């Protein structure tokens, strides 16, 4: 549970400073979390909510045979084409969600909190 609170805040700090080593400053990120606990909790909750569609989309190919019974009769080339179109649509949907998530996190947590 603590990791779900730490990781989004550490990512914000890393993005605000531009230094990857800032991700591993556990005490400082912990102090930031203690200073603004409700704001950090909101970021963590948003992170979890936005991760649900990603988890669902990456799991769907495993269940495609149950969702589309005609897959059993497809050739390998047709399966590759089906998966390529699925991954393209997933990327076209997922990238805007990912970009919105990053924008929301930057907008909700001013850089002054993270430095």
Q: What is the pLDDT of residues 47-92, one digit of tens each?
A: 788 788 888 888 988 888 888 888 888 899 999 999 999 999 988 8
Beta-carbon contacts of residue 77 (< 8 Å; ≥ 6 apart) = none
Contacts of 39 (CB under 8 A, 6+ apart): 108, 109, 113
Helix segments in 18-75, DSSP class H: 26-35, 37-59, 64-67
- When pLDDT is cut at 50, 70 and 90, the band that residue 18 belongs to is confident
> What is the model's pLDDT at position 12?
81
Percentage, residues of the chain above pLDDT 90: 14
Q: Rounded to two decimals, what is the model's pTM?
A: 0.58
Retrieve residue 3's tokens: 């990791």
In the chain, domain spans: 2-114
CB contact at 8 A, 108 and 39:
yes
């Amino acid at each position: 549970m603590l990791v779900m609170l730490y990781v989004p805040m550490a990512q914000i700090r890393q993005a605000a400073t531009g230094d990857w080593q800032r991700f591993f400053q556990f005490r400082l990120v912990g102090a930031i979390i203690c200073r603004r606990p409700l704001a950090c909790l909101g970021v963590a909750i948003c992170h979890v909510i936005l991760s649900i569609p990603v988890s669902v989309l990456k799991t769907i190919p495993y269940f495609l045979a149950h969702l589309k019974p005609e897959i059993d009769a497809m050739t390998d080339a047709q399966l590759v084409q089906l998966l390529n179109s699925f991954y393209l649509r997933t990327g076209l949907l997922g990238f805007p969600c990912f970009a919105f998530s990053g924008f929301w996190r930057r907008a909700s947590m001013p850089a002054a909190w993270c430095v």
